[in-house]
Amino acid sequence: MKKTAALCALLASAPVIAQTSSLTLYGIVDLGLHRSRGITSAHAPATGSQTSLGSGIHTTSRWGLRGSEVLSGDTRALFNLESGVRVDSGAPGMASKSFDRASWVGLQGGWGSVQIGRQTSLLADAIAPVDPLGLRFGGANVNAGVVALSRHGLGADFGNAGSNSSSYRLDNAFKYIGQFGGFTARAMLGLGEVAGRASALASRGLGLAYAANGWTVSGAFQTFKDADRRSLNGSTLGLAYQWNSLRLAANAGRNEAQTAAGTHTRQRVLSSGVIWTAQPALNLGLTYYHAGRSRTGAHKDGYGRWVTFAEYKLSRRTQLYAELDSTRWRDGYQGAANPATATGIAAGVVHRF
């Protein structure tokens, strides 16, 4: 009788548990064929041609867990664990971390939400709704690489990112997100956790976005410190408009970093583009990025890049894509051994679950 009563109590409580908490397993599997000339599969300058099978050409391949639990009223506990994966080889996206893309826990209520752990920077959050490519094609996407700092090219760990080439995500970070009508406000504090040097590897930032009647305006400013407390300051401001089947977007971003005593690197990016939903299953896009760089003791250089793409939905979860990009390096940005122009072409399939 006691076992029967316990089983009945457990079954009776199951609907309550289901109503107050949730757990979701999700992911993206993206694999495609990439052919390039004068550029690598990661869109760095190169000599000659290359053919490769690439994971995450359209959208980064990943898997993750996210969940929530109702605590009381409109207050919830939240968490997200997400890991990148290289589908072509089965290797993790970042060998040093089990969950390189997200690892945080937080609380959400009518006052907004607070997230604590490894998470995207405010520059990455701000660029997402106004990037002309919609953050597609991360390798070719100059806003993702330079403005959101996924490939800052500065050779130092700015912010507690665990990488000397990227500050797109930060460890040990606090983020606040508040919704106020059409406005979304964000604030971020990243702890460096370097003993005896409170500001080393630390980060601070503010972001603000507004969306209404098809318009979106989004911007952010964030500062990052390296282990020697030198600064990297980044900012971005963009605008997008959805007009029937057309999405128009433009963005301006810049950053400046002190890479050594008296040595600075400044980078800036201007971008614009359009995405046309020609049919419910077919999207076509065209974008241009203009990047400039200046460094202490070196002449100014940069590059311009066109990116065009087509994607066709086979179902709600699966789509095919094709992408073509053309890059013209300026003033020797590519290095003396590499050609002044480069092209890349890719085609593949994305499945979401």
| CATH number where 230 lies | 2.40.160.10
Whether residue 321 lies inside any domain: the answer is: yes
Reported as half-sphere exposure (CB side, CA atoms, 13 A), residue 275 has a value of 19
Q: How far is CA 159 from CA 119, 165, 221, 245, in A?
A: 12, 11, 14, 39
Task: Let me know how many helices (H) and strands (E) the chain has, helices first.
Answer: 3, 18
Whether residue 186 lies inside any domain: the answer is: yes
Cα–Cα distance, 213 to 224 (Å, whole number): 35
Whether residue 247 lies inside any domain: the answer is: yes
Whether residue 66 lies inside any domain: the answer is: yes
Whether residue 174 lies inside any domain: the answer is: yes
111 touches 166 (CB < 8 A): no
Q: What pLDDT does 188 receive?
A: 98
> Phi and psi for 248 in degrees, rounded to 5?
-105, 140
Q: How far is CA 288 from CA 80, 131, 204, 313, in A?
A: 34, 11, 30, 24
- How many distinct structural domains can be found in the chain? 1
Q: What pLDDT does 143 receive?
A: 98
Q: What pLDDT does 198 receive?
A: 85
Cα–Cα distance, 188 to 176 (Å, whole number): 6
Using 50 as the pLDDT threshold, list the residues of the chain that sit under it: 1-18
Q: What pLDDT does 19 receive?
A: 58
Q: Provide the domain limits for residue 328.
A: 30-352
Q: What pLDDT does 15 receive?
A: 45
Cα–Cα distance, 167 to 158 (Å, whole number): 6
Whether residue 219 lies inside any domain: the answer is: yes
79 touches 104 (CB < 8 A): yes
Whether residue 311 lies inside any domain: the answer is: yes
Whether residue 238 lies inside any domain: the answer is: yes
Q: What pLDDT does 14 receive?
A: 43
Helix, strand, coil tally for the chain in percent (to 5): 10, 60, 30
CA quadruple 256, 257, 258, 264: dihedral sign = negative
